[in-house]
Amino acid sequence: MPLLSEEHKDKIEFVMAQSPLIPVITIHNPDDAVPLCQALFNGGIRALEITLRTEHGLDAIRRVREAIPDAIVGAGTVISIDQYREVERAGAEFVITPGVTDAILDFGVTSESPLLPGIATVSEMMMGYSHGYRHFKFFPAEVSGGTEALKAFAGPFPDVCFCPTGGVRQQTAAAYLALHNVSAVGGTWLTPDEAVASKDWQTITGIARASLAAIGHRG
């Protein structure tokens, strides 16, 4: 079984260290991709997860990478090897999955785009752990036990760090980030549908700044 190299571990650790808040971005209008991500970046968000939940995800990754070269642009909701290859070609600088399979874990070991595997249970985490992964997305965080589950995970796995996503809100982000095994949190609250639909980019920037301030981070 191929094992994750220290270089790959360093890559995903670098991504999570750049921004304690990682927005989960779903693009419904391709023309919104750049101004939305620019608004988040202006608010201090450095790592951007653009999901493949719509057909516009791949194009959005390409556009945002070109338009905002200082941002770290990754792909989320990657559920197959074919999608993993597509987001690599689109220029994704990191890849996030909602769950794990042995095939995706194996592929991530050799990929230039580092993988943050999604897990909900200790058994799933152990699958990734056996491949050398030490950073995971905890999803869906709130319904999978929230902060109490992560505290329990820390006992047998003190060397594992998480990015909880799913049900996390601005008001609860700080509680997650207070845990020593949480490096970043992800969420959709940074991109409310109403503000995106009305193209109110100033509001998006304000939410990003307020969210970072709430956790005591300067963007």
Instruction: Identify the pLDDT of residue 189.
Output: 97
Domains annotated on the chain, with CATH: 6-213 (3.20.20.70)
Report the catalytic residues: 49, 137
Instruction: Identify the pLDDT of residue 61.
Output: 98
Instruction: Identify the pLDDT of residue 158.
Output: 97
Instruction: Identify the pLDDT of residue 8.
Output: 85
Each residue's pLDDT tens digit, 56-113: 999 999 999 999 999 999 999 999 999 999 999 999 999 999 999 999 999 999 999 9
pLDDT confidence bin for 218, thresholds 50/70/90: low
d(CA 41, CA 47): 8
The token duo for 168 is: 């996390």
Q: Are 130 and 162 in contact (CB under 8 A)?
A: no
pLDDT confidence bin for 1, thresholds 50/70/90: confident
pTM of the model: 0.96
Sign of CA dihedral 62, 67, 73, 77: negative
d(CA 12, CA 74): 11
